[in-house]
Structure 1
């Protein structure tokens, strides 16, 4: 199994779209990152964990799932780097390959020491952009190759059926 651990605020600060959004609405930037990681998880099969440190969100540690992506806010006075290092140790075994997405140079060396592989913010952005292009291409192919109706009907009848389907009269 492959596990991708994402340093949330590091990625938000490195991706132009998320960085611009962060300046307006930090919560929305986090949500967009999580949504993009959900797409990556669904397409790649990786287990994805996004870690945000309590620096921007004070309070107790919080864990939840959003779009099947595990989201962790560290406890107060614990950095995302510290949590990621602990997780790399805890989750590592012979059948699991840990990947850590961060552009923090110090963190990259620390995770190398734990046997994890690093993915820079730029590499992750490239991978996500390529994934979005593949998804868009697949959707277009499905739309183009959409099977015709099994029973040929006129456009007027199709319009009536569509109104019924929507509950209109």
Structure 2
């Protein structure tokens, strides 16, 4: 079953402490940090991540782009992130998909739940991300601990030949 995580971008930025702090200095940096973190989340979980940002904080005609394989949507000028998220849920949800919406907006949670999606609060998503980061660190540690062996298994006879050849060159 294909899984999607639709993220209410500014709602998450307004909730996670590290993003709140980053936003004080640069909204663009806070958005970039969220996108990078969600790319890691996507890489480990295999869930397709779509982040939606409201147009009221970034004026424009609406845009869609890919950053780090994460789909990033900026709504049209008179469209809210909630409206776009609701449209996405209706478009993506079917018997072969599961859609999660990450937001702490209580009203939005109720609306998307009625559309068949599951909700994930900002705190729950952050906890999942922390687990993903722990998993990445553990994987790196495990790889570092593995003995540095060649990828090709050699028979004893071939290994002996190469060893003799190596010694001749000394």
Structure 1 counterpart SS, 2:59: coil
Residue 12 of structure 1: aligned partner? 13
1:29 aligns with 2:30: yes
Which residue is 1:120 aligned to? 121
Name stretches of at least 5 consecutive residues in structure 1 with no aligned partner: 153-169
Q: Give RMSD over aligned pairs.
A: 1.5
Measured in 1, the distance between the counterparts of 2:150 and 2:135 equals: 27
| C-alpha deviation, 1:92, in angstroms | 1.0
Deviations 1:53-95 (A, max 9, x none): 1011001101000010000000001110010011111111110
Q: 1:143 to 1:114 in 2, by over 3 A?
A: same
Q: Deviations over 1:121-161 (max 9, x none)?
A: 00000000111011001101111214157999xxxxxxxxx
CA distance in 2, matches of 1:129, 1:121: 12
Q: Where in structure 2 are the equivalents of 1:88-167 lying within 5 Å?
A: 88-148=89-149
Larger mean Cα displacement after TM superposition, 136-145 or 4-13: 136-145
Large movers: runs of 4+ above 4 Å: 148-152
TM-score by length of 2: 0.86
Q: Which has the larger radius of gyration?
A: 2
Question: Any idea what SS the aligned residue of 2:142 has?
Answer: helix
State how 1:40-59 maps to structure 2 within 5 Å: 40-59=41-60
For 1:11 and 1:55, the matched residues in 2 are separated by 16
Q: Name the count of aligned residue pairs.
A: 152
What's the TM-score, normalizing by structure 1?
0.86
Report the CA distance shift for 1:148/1:74 in structure 2 as closer, same or farther (over 3 A): same
Partner in structure 2 of residue 159 of structure 1? none
